[in-house]
Structure 1
Amino acid sequence: MSLRTVRGGLLALLLPLTACVSGPAYHLPENSIAASSRAARAFVSGQEAPFSHDAPPDRWWQLYGDPQLDAYVGEALAANTDLRAADANLRRASATVLEYRARGSVQADVDASGTLTHAGGYTQASAAPQSYALGFHLSYPLDLAGGIRRGIEAANADAEAVAAARDQVRVVVAAAVTRAYLQVCTSNHTLAATRQVLAIQRATLEATRRLAAGGRGTDFDASRAGAAVNRSAAGIPRLLAERQAALFELAALMGRLPADYPREAEACPQPPELEQALPVGDGWQLLQRRPDIRAAERRLAAATAMIGAETAGLYPQITLGASSGVAGTPAHLLSADGFGASIGPVLSWHWPNRRAAKTRIAVAGANADTVLASFDGIVLQALRQTETALSACTQELEREHSLAQARMDAARAAGQAQQLYRFGRIDFLDVLSAQATLADAESALATSRAQRIDRQLDLFLSLGGGWRAHDPAQRAEPER
C-alpha cells in the first residue's frame, strides 16, 4: 500500500468528523422567564381607555404630530456622541468576529535561515562553510471537535449583543430628545399660565391702591395684594431657568454646542398632545422589541457557545499541513537537489489535563447559569417597568383631569370674588384667598401636566421602541 493511499484513507476517515461540534447547541431555555406563556400576555395595567393593544410604531415620537420634534430626534440619532461611541463598539465587535473566523482558515508561514560554519576544532572538515534554507508552509485546522466553530458562534452572539446595546442607546437618545423638547414646551405653557394669574393679581393690586387713595380701602389691603403679586412673580425665574436648561440639554443631545441650541424651540407655546390612544401592545411584543432583552439573550447564546469551545479542549487538534522549500549551499540552493516538499495531516495533541479541562468547562457552565439568571432578571425588570409606567400614566391622567376641573372652579371663584368685593359683599381677604387658590390650582395643573408627559415618555421608554434605523442617511450597521 502506497503512502498516498494511506494519506487518502486517513483524510476520508477524518473529514466526516469535522461535522461534529462539541458542547450544547443553543436554544432559549425552557425554564427561562421569557419562554413562559405568562410573560407574553396582555399587560395587567394596559386595559384602561387611554391605551390600545396595537404595537407601538418604531418612531413613536411621531404620535405627537410635531414636525419640529421629528427633526430634532433625526438630528440627534445622526450626531449624538453616545451613539457614535456605540457605533464604534459595534465595529470593534464585528472585527472580533472576523478574527475568530480567520482562525479556521488556511494559515501561511515563511521562514528563512542562513548558517556560516568555520572549520576547526571539533567541526567536521567536510561541513559546508555556508548553507541557506528557505521554507513556505501552509496549515489548515480540521476543527474536529468544533472548538473554532463554537468560538465563532460566541463571537457572533457577542457582536449581536453589542448591536442590541447600540439600539438601546438609540431608544434612550430618542426619549431624551423628546423629553427635553416637551419640557421646553411645558415650561412655556406654565409661564403663560403664571403670567395670566400674575396679570389678574396686578390688576387687583392697582384697584386696591385706587380704593385706598379714595378712602374706600386701606394700605394693609394694598400690602397684602402686593405680596401676592411678588409671590407669583417669584416663580417666573425658576421656570425660565428650567426652560433654558432643557434647551441646553436638547443641544447636547443633538451634538451641538450649548450656544447653538435650537432658538425656534423657545417659541413652542405648549406641549403637543398624542393624536390617538397610546399603543402599548402586549408582553410578547415587548420581549421581541426591547433591545436590552435581546442583548441579554445574545449574551446567553455566547456563554452557551463558550461551553462548547472549552469542551473542544478535551480532543486532539488535527491540522492538514503542506510545506515546500529549498536548502543547501549557495551553489546548489536553486538546484533540483535542494528542493523539497511535503503534505499530510499533522497531529498536534498535547496530552490533555482532563481535570483542568473539566474545570474550565465547569466554569463556562457556571457562567452560562449566571448569564441566564441575569437574562431572567432583565425580562422581569422590563415587565415591571412597563406595568409601573402604565399604572403611573393612568393615575396621573386621572389626577390631571381632577386638577383641570379644580382650576376651572378656582378661576370662576376668583372672578366671582372680585365682583362681590366691588359691591361690598365680601372682605378683601376673600378676594386674595380666591386668587391664591387660583394661582395654586394653575401651578398644580401645570405640574400634573408635566408629570403626565413624563409618565408617557417613561412608558415609551419602557416599551423599547425607536431603535430601528429607516433613514438612508443614518449609519448602517457594520457587516458581520
Structure 2
Amino acid sequence: MRKLLLMLAMLAGGCAVGPDYTPPVASYSDQWHSDTGMDGSAQAAGRQWWQQFNDPLLVSLIDETMHNNRDLAVALAHIERARGLRREAGSGYFPTLNAGGSANRTRFSRQTGFGANTGTRSTFSAALDASWEPDLFGRTRRAIEAADARLQASLAAQQGLMLSLTAEVAVNYFELRGLQRQLVMTERDITLLKEMEEIARAKTELGVASDMDISQAQGERENIAATLPALHAGIQARIFRISVLTGKAPEFYNTILLQAQPLPVVTDRVPTGLRSEILKRRPDIRQAERELAAATADIGVAKAEMFPVFSLTGSTGSSARLFTDLFTPATLTRSLGAALGWPVFAGGAITARVDIAKADARAALASYEQSVLLALEDAEGALARYAGEWQTLRQLKAAEASRLQAFTIARLRYEAGEEPFLVMLDAERALITTRDAIVGSETRVLTTLAQLHKALGGDWQPADSNSASAPH
C-alpha cells in the first residue's frame, strides 16, 4: 500500500493535461511615432506623479480617494474573493476528513420482535472518514494556475482603477482651478468694460460721442456678464465630483475648494521612456495577460474531465451499546477502500466543455492583443495632445502681447478722438477672447498631462535619477 501511495504521488506531480501557458510576445517599435519633443531616454519611477505640482491640497484629495473611494472598495472585495477561490482550488491537493457521531435509543415491539430485537436498546457510534483523490492528470494543478492568474488579474484591475482615479481627481481639480481663474478674469473684464462705458458716457456728455458708444459698451459688458452663471455652475460641478471621488457627500469640500488658488506650473518636457515600456507598466495590459493565462489553464481543467478519477477512502471509528464502551478495543471499526471512475459517455458534454474553454482562450488572446493596441494608441494620442497644447499656449501668449498692444493704441487714439469707439471695443473684445483662451489652454496643458501619466501607466523620470521608487 505504501508503494501504491508513492506511485500515485509521483503521477500526481508529473502529469497535467492541457497546454502549458506561454506569455504572448508583443513586438513593437521602441520609438514614438510622432516627434513630440519629449524625452524618450527615461525609465519608470513611482506613480505619485501628482506630487510634482507642489500642491498639498491635491495630494490630500488623492490620498483621500485612495482610502475611501467606493469603487476601490468594490475592487478590494473582488481581490478577497479571488483569494478565496485560490484557497478553494488549492484544497484539491489535500484529503478530506469528516467526523461524525450518533446516539440512538430504540424500543422494539414485543410481539414482532424476536431474539435480541426485543425490549429497548441504546447504540452509540463515532467515526472519522477520510478520502483523497490524487491529481493524476493535473486537474487541481490547472485549477490552481487559473485561480492564481485570476487573483493577479484582480490585483491589476485594482491598480488600473487607482491609476484612473488619480487622473480623474487631478483633471477635475485642474479644471476647477482653471474655472476659478477664468471667473476672476471675467469679473476683471466686466470692471474694465464698465470703465470704457464711463469713458463713452463722459465723451457723450461733452458732445464728442454718441449714445451708440454707450449702448455698445453696455451690451458688451452684459454679454460678458452672461457667462458668470455657467462658470459658477462648472466650479460647483467639479467640487461635487471631487467630493464623491473621495467617498464623501457632494457638498463636503465646498468650503475648502471654493477658495481660489492659482493653476500649478509645469514644464513642457515630460520624460516618456521607451514605447515598449508601457506594455510592462500598464495595469490593463497586465490584467488582460493574466486573464489569458487563466483561460489557458481552464483548458487543462476541462480536458482532465476526460480521464479516469481514482480515489482512496478510509474510515475509523467505534460502535457500542454503552457510551462508556466507545473507543474500547472491542468496539473499534475501520475500513480502507479504493474507487475508480471514468466518464465513458456523457453525450458530448465533456468535449463541449473543452471546446468552450479553447474558445474562451482564443477570445482572451484577442482581448490581450487589442488591449496592447489600445494602450499604444492611448499613449501616442496623449503625447500628441500634450505637445500640441503647449504649442497652442505659446502661440496664444504671443497673440496676447500683440492684442494688448493693439488695444492700448486703440484706447489712446479713441481718447484723442482719432478712432471711433467700435475700434477700441473690437480691440478689447479680441484681447479678452485671447486671455480666456490662454486660461483654457493652461488648464488643458494640466489635464492632458494627467491623462498622459495615466496613458503611460504611471510616472516617468530620467534614467540617471536617484529618486526612483517601485510602483505601489
**TM-score normalised by structure 2 residue count:** 0.89
Alignment of 1:24 with 2:19, yes or no, is yes
Alignment of 1:324 with 2:320, yes or no, is no
Equivalent of residue 95 in structure 1, options 84, 88, 112:
84
**d(CA) in 2 for partners of 1:185 and 1:56?**
29
**Aligned-residue offset at 1:15:** 2.1
1:211 aligns with 203
2:303 corresponds to which letter in structure 1?
A: T
Where 1:260 maps in the other structure, the secondary structure is: coil
1:72 aligns with 61
**d(CA) in 1 for partners of 2:327 and 2:291?**
55
**Aligned-residue offset at 1:267:** 3.4
Q: Retained in 2: the 8 A contact 1:119–1:125? A: no
Q: How does 1:258-269 map to 2 (within 5 A)?
A: 258-261=250-253, 263-269=255-261
**Aligned-residue offset at 1:286:** 0.6
**Aligned-residue offset at 1:269:** 3.4
2:468 aligns with none
1:473 aligns with none
Cα distance 1:348–1:112, how it changes in 2: closer, same or farther (>3 A)? farther
**Aligned-residue offset at 1:454:** 2.6
1:36 corresponds to which letter in structure 2?
A: A
Q: Retained in 2: the 8 A contact 1:299–1:371? A: yes
**d(CA) in 1 for partners of 2:38 and 2:5?**
68
Equivalent of residue 33 in structure 2, options 4, 27, 44:
44
**d(CA) in 2 for partners of 1:51 and 1:315?**
57
Q: How does 1:80-479 map to 2 (within 5 A)?
A: 80-113=69-102, 114=104, 116=106, 118=108, 125-127=115-117, 130=121, 131-261=123-253, 263-275=255-267, 277-330=269-322, 334-343=327-336, 346-353=338-345, 355-465=348-458
**Aligned-residue offset at 1:212:** 0.9
**Aligned-residue offset at 1:122:** 8.2
**Aligned-residue offset at 1:377:** 0.9
**d(CA) in 2 for partners of 1:321 and 1:52?**
63
**d(CA) in 2 for partners of 1:206 and 1:22?**
89
Where 2:251 maps in the other structure, the secondary structure is: helix
**Aligned-residue offset at 1:214:** 1.8
**Aligned-residue offset at 1:162:** 1.0
**Aligned-residue offset at 1:315:** 2.1
1:62 aligns with 51
Q: Retained in 2: the 8 A contact 1:410–1:434? A: yes
Q: Retained in 1: the 8 A contact 2:39–2:272? A: yes
**Aligned-residue offset at 1:121:** 8.7
**Aligned-residue offset at 1:384:** 0.8
1:358 corresponds to which letter in structure 2?
A: T
**d(CA) in 1 for partners of 2:79 and 2:405?**
60
Greater CA deviation, 413-422 or 320-329?
320-329
Q: Retained in 2: the 8 A contact 1:63–1:276? A: no
**Aligned-residue offset at 1:322:** 2.6
**Aligned-residue offset at 1:89:** 1.6
**Aligned-residue offset at 1:147:** 0.7
**d(CA) in 2 for partners of 1:224 and 1:275?**
41
Cα distance 1:322–1:305, how it changes in 2: closer, same or farther (>3 A)? same
**d(CA) in 1 for partners of 2:377 and 2:112?**
84
CA RMSD of aligned residues (A): 2.4
2:4 aligns with 10
**Aligned-residue offset at 1:335:** 4.5
Cα distance 1:316–1:123, how it changes in 2: closer, same or farther (>3 A)? farther
Q: Retained in 2: the 8 A contact 1:65–1:275? A: no
**Aligned-residue offset at 1:398:** 1.5
Q: Retained in 1: the 8 A contact 2:130–2:313? A: yes
**Aligned-residue offset at 1:266:** 3.1
**Structure 1: segments with no counterpart, 5+ residues:** 1-6, 30-34, 467-476
Query: What's the CA shift string for 1:195-247, capped at 9, x where partnerless?
Result: 33323222111111111112121111111111111111222222222112212
Where 2:349 maps in the other structure, the secondary structure is: helix
**Structure 2: segments with no counterpart, 5+ residues:** 460-471
Greater CA deviation, 256-265 or 14-23?
256-265
**Aligned-residue offset at 1:115:** 8.0
Q: Retained in 2: the 8 A contact 1:286–1:464? A: yes
1:373 corresponds to which letter in structure 2?
A: A
Where 1:278 maps in the other structure, the secondary structure is: coil
**Aligned-residue offset at 1:91:** 1.2
2:469 aligns with none
**d(CA) in 2 for partners of 1:52 and 1:16?**
52
**d(CA) in 1 for partners of 2:288 and 2:8?**
37
Greater CA deviation, 227-236 or 450-459?
450-459
Q: Retained in 2: the 8 A contact 1:157–1:298? A: yes
Greater CA deviation, 260-269 or 11-20?
260-269
